[in-house]
Amino acid sequence: MKKLILASKGGYITDGQYEIFDKPRNKIKWAYITTAGKSVPDSAYIKKHEQRMMELGWDFKEIDLDGKTTDELRELLKDKEAINVLGGNSFYLLKSIRESGFDKVLSEFLDRGGVYCGSSAGAYVACPTIEVATWKKVQKFDHHGVTEFTAMNLVPFLIVAHCTPEIEAMFKPNIELTQYPVKLLTDQQAIIVTDDKIEVLEDPNIGLKDFGG
């Protein structure tokens, strides 16, 4: 059974109201993947998110995909029950996923019942492509040589994270042109995927505190 939670904000992973696990989140062994934050101007949100997980009593291990082989990732994830992929630079994250073989290891992880949680860039790479990250008029991040945007294709749609009415209006031409359905997520929303079942959730309390992008 494939289980995913995809959100705009990392705070939805830690504090959002949702049911996808069969036990409390602080009883789960987590992998915390911070690679996307290595290519952003300000990565303070990573420590904020880490502090929040510690406050909640989570059992987690931080993992950087860079420099890892598929066998090393299998070993690191063998006892983990959930993966929390934080946001940052989608291009850098996708590059690291390809080079490490994380996508192959993740497929095995999901097949054995693991849960994938991704926020912002971590949600984008779960989509068929990360093309949404190219839709802004002024490019925010270095592409790190990534010119082909095919991602992990865990869901059949694209996600616009941190969506506002202004962003929706700006992205409207791209939304009409892309071949994929597009889900618009505010900072208070997340998508739960259980096999082919897709549910959009909303928690108005998320975003009042910043626990990670």
CATH for 3-202 (1.20.1440.80, 3.40.50.880, 3.40.50.10490, 3.30.420.40): 3.40.50.880
Map tokens 């108005």 to a residue. 204
Give backbone dihedrals phi and psi of 105, rounded to 5 degrees, phi first. -65, -40
What are the pLDDT digits (tens) for 130-173? 999 999 866 778 899 999 999 999 999 999 999 999 999 999 99
What are the pLDDT digits (tens) for 55-93? 999 999 999 999 999 999 999 999 999 999 999 999 999
Looking at residue 136, what is its pLDDT? 82
Q: Write the single-letter amino acid at 148.
A: E
CA 110 to chain centre: 15
What are the pLDDT digits (tens) for 10-59? 999 999 999 999 999 999 999 999 999 998 888 888 999 999 999 999 99
Whole-model pTM over 0.85: yes
Q: Per-domain residue ranges for the chain?
A: 3-202
Distance CA 16, CA 10 (A): 9
Supply the DSSP string of 136-195, one letter for each residue.
SSS--S--TT----B---SSSSEEETT--HHHHHHHHHHHHHSSS-EEE--TTEEEEEET
Residue 42, strand partner residues:
none
Which alpha helices (H) appear in the chain, and where do they start and end?
10-15, 44-55, 70-77, 90-100, 102-111, 121-124, 165-177
At residue 112, the 3 state secondary structure works out as coil
Burial of 148-177, coded b for 16+ CB within 10 Å and e otherwise, reads ebebbebbebbbbbbbeeebeeebeebbee
